[in-house]
Each structure stands twice: as C-alpha cells, then as structure tokens.
Structure 1
Amino acid sequence: MISTRTVGILLFNEVEVLDFAGPFEVFSLAEDNVNNKHFNVITIAEYQAPISARNSLTVIPDYSFDNHPTIDILVIPGGYGAEKVEINNPVVINWIISQSKLAELTLSVCTGALLLAQSGLLAGKSATTHWMDLDNLALYPNVEVIANTRFVDASDETTKLVTSAGISAGIHASLYCVEKLLDSQTMQTTARRMEFDIE
C-alpha cells in the first residue's frame, strides 16, 4: 500500500474555476500501476459553506479552516477573489502562512501568487503569475518576477514552492509537482490520461 499525501486546495468566492479544478484533476488522477491513488485531494475554505466561484459556479468545500486534516501539498488558486478580496483578508493570509510552514510543497496558480507574496512567502524568491498581473506581482520589491513561462520552481533547502502562470498553466505546474514529488512515469501517465500535452 502506498503512502497517500493530502492535497489541500484553498477555495474562496470568485476563485477562478480552472485554477482549482485543474490541480484537483491532476492530483486526483495520479496513481501507481495497480490504481492506488498517490494523493487524497480536499477543498478548504474559511467557512464550510457554499462558495460562488467565477461565473457563478457553486462549490461546497470539504472542510473549513477549523476542521481540515493535515495538509501535505497546499494549492493556492487565483482569480478576482484572490487579487481583490482575500488579499485583504488577514484570516486567509495567516492561514496560508501557517499551512505553508507545515506543508511539504506549496503551489500557486495564476494570481494565487499575489496571496503568497502578500503572505511574505515569495520574499527573496522568483515567481510568476497570469500575464495580466505580472505588474501587480512586481509591486512586491523582494520578488523576482519571471514572465513568459508556465511555472517557476523557487524551492530551496527549506521550502518547496512552485508558482504558475494563468489558469490552464496550473495543470502543467501540477503535473510538474507530481513528477517532483513522485517520478516522471507517474506524471507522464497522468498527463496522457488527461490528454494534456506536456511538451
């Protein structure tokens, strides 16, 4: 029996749908050669109540900040709710800080990078985000902003940290994280199952 890691995906009102659904799909599909899942994927919001994602998709989070299990991989999606609302929510920012310290790896998608920057987690690191928000990320003077890339791995000896560009780039970055955490074969098998071109 393989050891299963828990992937915790943050949800909030006006979260970009593919920002969280892409990583959800990737990590949920990653299996070994006898179909044992490598990851248990859960969604978490500040409150365990329905949230309204972009374009009015209603999603019910599995857990709240108060009752979720230990997270091994933390996923921070973006969207209007990230860059305009939750970036000013100290409860969310402090939760991200505390969970990133406990998690084995933190991944942001799109403008989720702005939440990481606001949390101070990108200080002294390179990062990327949606091309429309690169200038906003550059407002944080201690972040080296990388444009024209699908994702940036800023991991070091103490932290595993990956940021990705906009929306669909979160799928590419999640597959990269599968390879980083497991192996290339599992990543390639997952990508093929999703019919996602990793080249």
Structure 2
Amino acid sequence: MKKQWLVGLFLFNEVEVLDFAGPFEVLSITEDPETKDKPFQVMTVSEDGRQIKARNGLKVQPDYSFETAPIFDIVIIPGGYGADHIEINNPVVINWIQAQSMHSEILASVCTGAFLLAKAGLLDDKRATTHWMDIEILQRKFPKVTVLSNIKYVDEGHIVTSAGISAGIQMSLHLVRRLLSEEIALQTVKRMEYDITKI
C-alpha cells in the first residue's frame, strides 16, 4: 500500500461548496486503523492562488496556484456554475487539466466538473456521469462521451466521474475503498455518520 497520496482539489469562483468540501472531508479524515497514518494529504489549488468565492458567497483561500502547485497523485475537479459556464471557456484551466491527466494517478470530477474533463478531451470514448439536470446537455455537447444517468459515480480507471454535489462524497469513499480497503472505507463512513448503504 502506498503510504500517502497527494490530492489536489481545484477551486474557482462559483464552485459548488459540497463538490469540494465533501471529498476534502472524506479524504482528509481517512486514516489507517493500525498505524493512524493519514493516507491522503489534501491540498487546494486555483489558477492564480488568490482567494476564490464559492457558490453563495463562501470565501476560500487556496493553498497553491497552478504555477506553485506540486505534482498531485489525485486531482479532483468539482462543479458548479463556475465550471460549466465560466472555466469551460478558460483555456488556461483546460490546458492545466490536460497536464494533470498526464501526471496524476487518478483524475476525478464531481457534478458539472465532468464538463471540464470533457472539454479537455479526457472523456472521449469513455463512460461518465454528472448532475442529473445536466445529463442531456453533457451528452449533446460531447457526443463522444457515453453519459450514464441514475448512477452516483463511474470508475473508468484513470478517470472517475460522479453525479451531483453529494455524490462526490460517495465517489471519494469509493476511492478510499479502491486504494486502501473496504475496512478503512467503512471506518471513514462510521466516523462521518454517513449512510453506510451509499458507498
């Protein structure tokens, strides 16, 4: 088992709060029951490293900019209005996501973060999902993607996508189970008082 994965959570203006806060909570509290080591070091990153304003006004100060960020093992791309309406038109962000795909072990999205992966060409000829309100739009805009509905997450190996907002928690618990063990995932579920049937 790898001792620790460096996780990068991408932040931007108008990001959906639970899209990044859910995975942050899951991965940051996960620990090895025997050694008490933390398998995941979770950091945040934005394009310029400046404070961002998430949906409904929450202000967050990222740890890194694109320029100063380390190489992440896992990169999580959240959604929200800022993803599919703003950052999807930002070539700097799309290029950064493409670069992360080359270096990361896992590149994951939550909600409409899937639109950024699709714009980067990373979902071509793959199965994916997104928020139920955006399923048809994602399929129409990116016909090379097989968009699945009524599912919380889709694991395609290197690429993992999840449905809307709270589904990012389930996806993150799935990653804990995949990378570590069922036991550790269930321990994390218990600590969070999350519904054990939803992982």
TM-score, structure 2 as length reference? 0.96
Which blocks of at least 5 consecutive residues in structure 1 are unaligned?
A: none
CA distance in 1, matches of 2:53, 2:46: 11
Aligned length: 195
SS at match of 2:127: strand
CA distance in 1, matches of 2:5, 2:68: 18
Which blocks of at least 5 consecutive residues in structure 2 are unaligned?
A: none
1:3-39 superposed Cα distances (whole Å, 9 cap, x missing partner): 2110000000000000000000011011001321001
CA distance in 2, matches of 1:178, 1:101: 22
Q: Tell me whether 10-19 or 137-146 shows the greater mean CA deviation.
A: 137-146
Verify: 1:80 aligned to 2:78, yes or no: no
- State whether residues 48 and 64 of structure 1, in contact with CA within 8 Å, keep that contact through their aligned partners in structure 2: yes
Q: Report the counterpart of residue 134 of structure 1 in structure 2.
A: 135
SS at match of 2:41: strand
CA distance in 1, matches of 2:138, 2:191: 34
- 1:155-174 to structure 2, matched below 5 A, reads 155=157, 160-174=158-172
Report the residue type matching 1:145 in the other structure.
V
CA distance in 2, matches of 1:128, 1:69: 28
SS at match of 1:162: strand
Q: Report the counterpart of residue 190 of structure 2 in structure 1.
A: 192
Identity of aligned residues (%): 56
Q: Report the counterpart of residue 8 of structure 1 in structure 2.
A: 8
SS at match of 1:138: helix
CA distance in 2, matches of 1:108, 1:182: 20
Verify: 1:61 aligned to 2:62, yes or no: yes
Report the residue type matching 1:69 in the other structure.
P
Alignment root-mean-square deviation, CA: 1.1
Q: Report the counterpart of residue 42 of structure 1 in structure 2.
A: 43
Report the residue type matching 1:152 in the other structure.
V
1:140-175 superposed Cα distances (whole Å, 9 cap, x missing partner): 1100010001111122xxxx1110000000000000
Q: Which among 164, 177, 180 is matched to residue 182 of structure 1?
A: 180
SS at match of 1:61: coil
CA distance in 2, matches of 1:198, 1:123: 33
- State whether residues 172 and 198 of structure 1, in contact with CA within 8 Å, keep that contact through their aligned partners in structure 2: no
